Amino acid sequence: MSADKFYVTTPIYYVNDKPHIGHAYTTILADVLARYHRLKSVPTYFLTGTDEHGQKVQAAAEKAGMTPQQQADGTVVRFKELWERLEITNNDFIRTTEDRHKLVVQKILQDLYDRGEIYRAEYDGWYCVGCERYFTEKDLVEGNCPEPGCGRQVDRISESNYFFRMSNYQDWLIEYIQDNPTFIQPDFRRNETLGFLRKGLNDLCISRPKSRMSWGIDLPFDDDYVTYVWFDALVNYISAVGYLADDEMFAKWWPTSCHLIGKDILTTHTVYWPTMLKAMGVPMPESVFAHGWWLVGRDKMSKTTGNVVNPMEMVDRYGVDPFRYFLMAEMSLGQDASFTEEAFVRRYNADLANDLGNILSRVVKLIHANCGGKVPQPGEFGPDEKLLSETALAAAGKAMEQVESMRIDLGLASLAGVVREANRYLERREPWKVAKQGSPEELATILYCCAETLRIVSGMVYPVMPGKMAELRACLGLQEEEPAFGDLLEWGKLTPGSAVGKLRPLFPRIKQEASAQEKPTKAKAKQKTTEGVAQIEFTDFERVELRTATILEAERIEGADKLLKLQIDLGCEKRQIVAGIAKFYDPEILVGKNIVVVANLKPAKIRGVESNGMLLAASAGKALKLVSVDGDEVAPGARVG
């Protein structure tokens, strides 16, 4: 991405229904990226908006007994209200029914028509109302719409329409994607697009006859037709930043740094859009990033099944920042992720209440009780202090790298690891005992190191949880609400003598009651085993956090024939685990192996050696093999399951 500016967009959302968690996720992700770049003093522009034309909007309006414009005007309010509630900092909100957009679309259409890029022809083929797209016979999957997540029945249509000569750009687009590997991300999405292109690219129908569908932008060269909704909608990315209207603004912000999209609209953004831009003579976007879907448990969200998550309800129940945090921490970008309220509560209690909120409470109370309510002046650092400071700075640097590489979940995991390390540091140093022993300099050092760690963590997490992290920073006596990112890679920026604030619970623990899914029933109680294996609920499995890890060091434990002590890289942190595999693996051959570990297992001491996790292995008879991950594509710390 360009270092001198950052222009990020979300898809523009249909106004045929109220927003759901998928809309919230993409918009929060864009907001986190925008906030991050602003804090790095990079000029930033963040665009979102609504797609207000097309058959789905017209159908929703007819069902509600109103005009399409009334449907759009009523529904757009829900999106704006939600973005305000989620503390979204978009610079612009574009509606495709605005004149500033419609005029640009018509200018583009007229220019392409005049240059022979658009022509009229008869069409006979298949049409999906839900996707508002035409398909050939070979495109269909078992006679239905081939788009991921659709699969609806298609209708046979024969009519005269206007077509964009998209097929002329097939070879050019294949070559462009191959020559620009960061254009489509993640990599496997790029391969999907290349696979689609190599099947052969047809011309794109860019009109709809008003006799069948009248809600859209009129074709400037034939007022019996309106523009195909995608040819209209995609133009928002340039009409909002001054294309054909404000040359200075357009030159400042285009090309976009990142189009954020869901994987279901990959083809429109990586085939339609670049070919349209090429025909128009406009530079390509720097990147198109397609994220996965949010599932409910194991099922795709669907209005039909009634499992759509309303983000407003989650915010009302648990607050804005925890909701933002969960969405960013839970999904590995590019992959699908599962949303359940139980999973939300578990992560909230573990990461925020038990770890982050707990250490803040302990440190601030001790400072008030023993240091006059002011950040103490630290003394000389010992090995524990050096380890904590190095861990905090390394995690901050790694988190910055992870944001740049679109792995926000791993960046947050790295910071969560620092908080856990700080809690372990407190347990080892026992400042409450040091205070009673009358060692003020040692106590001051311990408390300063913890407070300074919290300063770094709060600054890095600020783009995700701006409200709560501003509270945390005020509690540490920091005057500025927003952090200076340059200071987060340096230790010792917290000023001794600063008054710490009054403490109130930052993340009160949530008492989780068993949901209907989790409550045992007599029927379930009778289902003891399947072929000798005890059955568990999916929610039981969700409690186990499986992560990939790389073995850094391995050594035998003296006096224990079966045990090895391993140092592992979990992406977010380094850990030590003890494993009973010494009879099957020599230590030297384990270094560098990519394994799978249970990351949320409570620490335990085995033969006097601390073990912080457990690796997975498969055994059969006298043989044992580690569960491992092939290749280098999966980084340490990736979620398994």
The string of pLDDT tens digits covering residues 112-159 is 999 999 999 998 878 887 777 778 787 888 889 987 778 888 988 888
CATH number at residue 622: 2.40.50.140
Averaged pLDDT for residues 286-312? 78
SS (H, E, C) 167-202: HHHHHHHHHHHHHCCCCEECHHHHHHHHHHHHCCCC
Q: What is the mean pLDDT of residues 69-76?
A: 94
> d(Cα 502, Cα 58) in Å, to the nearest integer?
54
Q: Are residues 351 and 480 in the same domain?
A: yes
In the three-class reduction of DSSP (H, G, I as helix; E, B as strand; rest coil), residue 158 is classed as strand
For the chain, count helices (H), then strands (E): 23, 29
Residue 332: name the closest of 290, 298, 297 by CA. Answer: 290
Question: In this predicted structure, which of 25-39, 289-303, 367-381, 457-471 has the lowest mean pLDDT?
Answer: 289-303
Tokens found for residue 473: 């920073």
Mean pLDDT of 171-191: 97
Residue 593 in domain: yes
Structure confidence at residue 460 (pLDDT) = 97
Residue matched to tokens 């969560």: 416
Q: DSSP per residue over 303-318, as a string?
A: TTTT----HHHHHHHH
- Assess if residue 439 is contained within a domain: yes
Same-domain status, 485 and 371: yes
User: Does a structural domain hold residue 556?
Assistant: yes
Residue 93 pLDDT exceeds 90: yes
Identify whether 19 is part of a domain. Answer: no
Kindly tell me the sign of the dihedral angle through the C-alpha atoms of 134, 135, 141, 142: positive
The domain boundary residue, chosen from 457, 472, 489: 489
C-alpha distances out from residue 348 to 296, 342, 468, 611, Å? 18, 10, 13, 24
Q: CB-based contacts of 506: which residues, under 8 Å, 6+ apart? A: 352, 356, 357, 360, 361, 468, 471, 472, 475
* 431 and 562 share one domain: no
Residue 539 has pLDDT above 60, yes or no: no
Domain with 569 in it: 545-640
Question: What is the dihedral sign for C-alpha 610, 330, 93, 281?
Answer: positive
Residue 518: its pLDDT value, please?
43
Both structure tokens of 183: 């254009």
Instruction: Tell me the pLDDT tens digit for each residue of 309-351.
Output: 788 899 999 999 999 999 999 999 888 998 889 999 999 999 9
Answer yes or no: is 154 within a domain. Answer: no
Question: Do the beta carbons of residue 407 and residue 332 sit within 8 Å?
Answer: yes
**Are residues 384 and 451 located together in one domain of the fold?**
yes
SS (H, E, C) 468-512: HHHHHHHHCCCCCCCCCHHHHHCCCCCCCCCECCCCCCCCCCCCC
- 410 and 475 share one domain: yes
Residues 354 and 437 in one domain: yes
Distant-in-sequence, close-in-space partners of 229: CB < 8 Å, separation ≥ 6: 51, 53, 54, 55, 132, 216
Helix (H) or strand (E) holding 419: helix 408-429
Reported as a pLDDT band with limits 50, 70 and 90, residue 514 is very low
Tell whether 346 and 472 lie within a shared domain: yes
Is residue 519 domain-resident? Answer: no
Tell whether 466 and 379 lie within a shared domain: yes
Query: Is the same domain home to 470 and 563?
Result: no
Interval 443-475: pLDDT, tens: 999 999 999 999 999 999 999 999 999 999 999
Residues 482 and 554 reside in one and the same domain: no
The answer to the question of residue 616 being in a domain is yes
Could you tell me if 111 and 83 are in contact, meaning their C-beta atoms sit under 8 angstroms apart? no
Number of structural domains the chain divides into: 2
For residue 85, is it within any domain?
Answer: no
Q: What is the mean pLDDT of the chain?
A: 89
- Select from 470, 489, 508 the last residue of a domain: 489
Domain final residue pick, 489, 512, 531:
489
Same domain, 450 and 562: no
Same domain, 484 and 358: yes
Q: Which is it for strands 294-296 and 44-51: parallel, antiparallel or unpaired?
A: unpaired
Give the CATH number, domain containing residue 346. 1.10.730.10
